[in-house]
Amino acid sequence: MSKNRNNKHNNQPKKKSEVIRKGTKQVNKKGTTNYTVEEETTLLPYLLTVITNKSRNAVKSILTRGQVSVNGEETTKHNYPLKPGDTVNIMSNQESKKRSELMGVSILHEDQDLIVINKEAGMLSISSDDPTEPTAYHQLSDYVKKEHPDNKIFVVHRLDRDTSGVMLYAKSEKIKEALQKDWKNTVKERIYTALVEGDVKEEQGEYASWLSESKGIKMYSNLEDNGGKRAVTHFRKVLGNENYSLLEVELETGRKHQIRVHLKEMGHPIAGDKMYGAETNPLKRLGLHATTLVLVHPGTNKLVRYTSEVPNSFLKRVK
């Protein structure tokens, strides 16, 4: 009888906190700790299992401060689902402090080959006529040199000053050349969110034209081949009201000012885009945000996805 009772007791499921295995652990030279998940769970319970030298509130603070990423994507969600094989990265306090010194730029992902950032509107991607103006490029250059003075970053693509969202830089010339050499095939998705004027009636569609640049920086569109560069833009309506519409826009080609020109040609210029016909500026900025970049990682040859949430200011205009 007692033997059977003991067997019955031993077969009872253990508490969740007792069955979460830590998985394999690696610490890189920046002090970031990487864990490989071995079984299904959620993020906060997992962190409480692997971070044993801090209180529950301290662990929650690490998560809230954006020091944790899963498979390269930063998250602050306590209940973020984890599955076997996922990689959980915990940034050191020192590294977090170094990143917090960046202005108008936050790092979404960093590895030995790439730095992926979320750029705020108003921040230049590359250079400025004013040498004292803090561009994303100059700030990231200084950031990587803190690890080693010979470190550099390399420009792969750019976002307009007034466009916010996801963009990436290479950490070596070899990686830059690999990306730029076959950019069209390497990049699988480039998705933007645009707040446009008026109520877009079509639920989804496509706009194609040929784009030419004037002597200034403005681009012009022609529906027939006039020697310009062919540009194709796909769009899907997400939300809208009588004043504004929120569109998800995917680039088939990546021409200068392509989205801005095409939405103007459709009769729905991007809010705040005075250059291309906007009459309103409710956000006090250009209503264009790069939300998603999906590409084949040049170092690992794996498909990776980097995302930045749609700004709340966009969503408020279409509620």
Active-site positions?
Answer: 160
Q: What is the DSSP letter of 270?
A: B
Pairing of strands 288-296, 164-170: parallel
| Chain-centroid distance, C-alpha 165 | 6
Burial class (CB in 10 A: 0-12, 13-18, 19+), 186: middle
- Residue spans of alpha helices (H) in 101-147: 136-145
From CA 90, how far away is CA 27, in angstroms rounded? 9
Burial class (CB in 10 A: 0-12, 13-18, 19+), 89: buried
Q: Are 200 and 207 in contact (CB under 8 A)?
A: no
From CA 267, how far away is CA 256, in angstroms rounded? 19
From CA 75, how far away is CA 73, in angstroms rounded? 6
Q: What number of other Cβ atoms are within 10 A of residue 194's Cβ?
A: 26
Please give the helix or strand (H or E) that residue 196 lies within, else none.
strand 187-197
Beta-bridge partners for 192: 249, 290
